[in-house]
Amino acid sequence: MLALAMALNLWRAVRGPALPDRILALDTLYINALALLVLLGIHLGTDVYFEVALVIALLGFIGTVALSRYVLRRDIIE
C-alpha cells in the first residue's frame, strides 16, 4: 500500500497542475518514504533505519520550507 501511495504521489509531482500541488506531492512522498523506512526497521529489528528516517524527515522539512518560500517570494535567502 505504501508503494502504491508513493507511486501516486510521484505521478502527482510529475503531472500536478500547479506548483503548490507538486510541492505537496513531494511532501507526502517523503512522508511515505519515512513510513516505509520505519516499517522496514521494525521488520528487521535494526535501529539504523530509524536514524535514516530522522535524517530524511529533517531534509524533507527543510526542502518543503525552502520550496514554499521560493514560491511565495521568488527568493530563498533574504
Quick one: pLDDT at residue 29?
Answer: 92
Judged by DSSP in three states, 30 sits in: helix
pLDDT over 80 (residue 5): yes
**pLDDT at residue 78 is higher than 70:** no
pLDDT tens-digit series, residues 8-31 = 999 999 998 988 899 899 999 999
Cα separations (Å) of 11 from 26, 37, 77? 10, 21, 30
Share of the chain above pLDDT 70, in %: 95
pLDDT computed for residue 76 by the predictor: 66
- State the average pLDDT for the chain: 90
